[in-house]
Amino acid sequence: MANSTASKPATTSVSILSVIAPAIGWLIPGAGHLIQKKWIRGFLLMASVFILFILGLLMQGHVYKPNGGDILDILGFIGDLGAGGLYIVSLAKDLGQGAIAHASADYGTKFMFVAGLLNFISVADAYHISIGKKQ
């Protein structure tokens, strides 16, 4: 009886972390690892996603909006959405809304798309760490 009462708060804290870590990891890439004290992994993931996304913007890449209409635009939106806060800020600042006029802009569009997809993977990793499936 005493054991079951004592183990209850630990279970609750793990379940809260398993929700917070992926959520904050999506909003701020790498932060899901940082709040679990995985400092090096967190900063490496953060740097990778941030640099890819910012390079994409600098290369005049296109940021997809939710109401794309075309199926490829919707897929682009899903990819970009993975970057979380970076995507929200770029939409709020109206960045990346130009046409894809040259090859470099096309690479930039793919950079941002991939940055979002990589952040989805790191969010899943943060979740696995929070539930103890991975160290």
Smaller CB distance to other proteins: residue 77 or 111? 111
Look up residue 102 and give its DSSP letter: S
Find out whether 135 and 41 touch, Cβ atoms under 8 Å. no
In whole angstroms, give the CA distance from residue 51 to residue 54: 5
Residue 92 binds other proteins (CB under 8 A): no
Identify the three-state secondary structure at position 96: coil
- Of 3-11, 12-20, 77-85, 117-125, the segment contacting other proteins by CB under 8 A is 117-125
Task: Give the CA distances from residue 124 to residues 5, 30, 131, in Å, rounded to whole numbers and listed in that order.
Answer: 30, 11, 11
Look up residue 64 and give its DSSP letter: P
Interface with other proteins (CB under 8 A), residue total: 29
Between residue 22 and residue 81, which ones bind other proteins under the rule CB under 8 A? 41, 44-45, 47-49, 51-52, 55, 57-60
Interface with other proteins (CB under 8 A) = 41, 44-45, 47-49, 51-52, 55, 57-60, 95-96, 103-104, 107-108, 110-111, 114, 118, 121-122, 124-125, 134-135
